[in-house]
Amino acid sequence: MTTQSITTISNENLISEVIKLKDEGYRLVQICATTVNSEYEITYSFALDYEFLCIRLMIPEEAEIMSISQVFAPAFLYENEMKDLFGIKINALSLDYQGNFYRLEQKTPYKNQ
């Protein structure tokens, strides 16, 4: 099996790292949020052919992150998903559903209580 590398980067470097990957020809595979204590761990996975790598952000609960949907168009779905399920604040989304992408009875069900 191919190796899986996970690089942790800081919040400010996100867009520049993502643009670098875009230039190398990577495509977006998934974006995933996990609650770790009172922080969120956001993992962006990219693939080029059979290569697979991830970059990771650690953000406090109230922090805002930039959307990467301007660089990778499909990201808007994953980011709306994170926004609806975890309540993570995301700026500059290309298409913002305002929390209505998933029609949920209880808003942000995966958020840390």
Partner 1 sequence: MSARSIVPFGPQHPVLPEPIHLDLVLEDETVIEAIPSIGFVHRGLEKLVEKKDFQDYVYVAERICGICSFIHGMGYCSAIESTMGIEVPRRAEYLRTIWGEMSRIHSHLLWLGLLADAFGFESLFMQSWKLREKILDMFEMTTGGRVIFSVNQIGGVKRDMDSDTLKLFIKIFDDMKKELTALTKAFLNDYSVNTRLKGVGILTKEKAHELGAVGPMMRSSGIEIDTRKLGYSAYNELDFQVITSPVGDSYARTEVRINEIFQSIEIIRQAAQKIPDTELSLVVKGFPSGEYFMRAEQPRGEAIYYVKGNGTKFLDRVRVRTPTFANLPSMLEVLKGCQLADVPTLILTIDPCISCTER
Binding site for partner 1 (CB under 8 A): 1-2, 4, 6, 25, 27-30, 32, 34-36, 43, 45, 49-50, 52, 54, 72-74, 77, 84, 95, 97, 100-104, 109-110
* Comparison of 72 and 90: residue with beta carbon closer to partner 1: 72
| Long-range CB pairs of 29-37, under 8 A, 24+ apart, other chains included | 30/78, 31/75, 31/78, 31/79, 31/81, 31/82, 32/78, 33/82, 33/85, 33/86, 33/88, 33/110, 35/86, 35/110, 35/111, 35/112
- Residue closer to partner 1 by CB (options 12, 112) is 112
Least spacing, CB of residue 12 vs partner 1, in Å: 25
For residue 25, the minimal CB distance to partner 1 (Å) is 8
Cβ of residue 90: shortest distance to partner 1, in angstroms? 17
Between the alpha carbon of residue 82 and those of residues 29, 35, 41, 93, the distances in Å are 15, 11, 11, 12
Q: In angstroms, what is the minimal distance from the CB of 104 to partner 1? A: 6
